[in-house]
Amino acid sequence: MTEDRYEMFTERYAKGDMPWDSGITPPEIFDIIGESPPGTALDLGCGTGTVMRDLLRHGWQADGIDFVQVAVDLARAKLRDFAPDRHRLVCGDVTRLADLPELRPPYDLIIDIGCGHSIDKALNEAYAVGITEHLGSGGCFMLYASHPRPESTVGWTPLQVARLFQGKLELFWEQRSFDKGLDRPSSWYRLLKPV
């Protein structure tokens, strides 16, 4: 994440200007919750903890990481009614997961809803390696990413996602749609770590 993006997100969280935070967990995540027995999950770019809250409600252990301390503080408040041994929140860098001893890998499920597609492209490989190393054998990685526009550095094409995880995770399915909030095409991906 560049310094200007860090400042922008910090300022917007502080002002409560968070259009990306709907307060609703996407149905694609509820599908995973419904299909799988409760396990361990890591939410990359967890924001205010909405997805973590719903994982915890369904019996999961859920850890979250965000690079904005205000977001982590808001998530901590949202999760205060859950036993502290069932969740951990970390302010840190999703491209440096190995540097975060608070995390508890291996995870059965790792989730990224619009975080990775905005990191500095030079850090993409470190991001993918960290996910692969923290995901348990047979584990699932759920990724939501917008498709890039010529005038923006945010977004990944489906081909970029496939190349990024080639030889690391196997693409199980992709679901394309149009994100009205971002006014651009986007995709959900379900990637699996081979057993």
Q: What percent of the chain has pLDDT over 70?
A: 98
Rounded alpha-carbon distances, angstroms, from residue 116 to 37, 45, 79, 99, 113: 26, 8, 24, 17, 8
Amino acid at 136: G
Tokens 């190995």 -> residue: 98
Q: Would you state the structure tokens that stand for residue 120, as one six-digit string?
A: 């500095």
Question: 180: how many CB neighbours lie within 10 A of its CB?
Answer: 8
What pLDDT was estimated at residue 97?
A: 98
What pLDDT was estimated at residue 101?
A: 96
Domains observed in the chain: 3-17+26-192 (3.40.50.150)
Positions of the chain with pLDDT under 70: 1-3
The CA distance from 29 to 132, in Å, is 19
What pLDDT was estimated at residue 60?
A: 98
Residues in the chain: 195
Question: 13: how many CB neighbours lie within 10 A of its CB?
Answer: 21
What pLDDT was estimated at residue 184?
A: 82
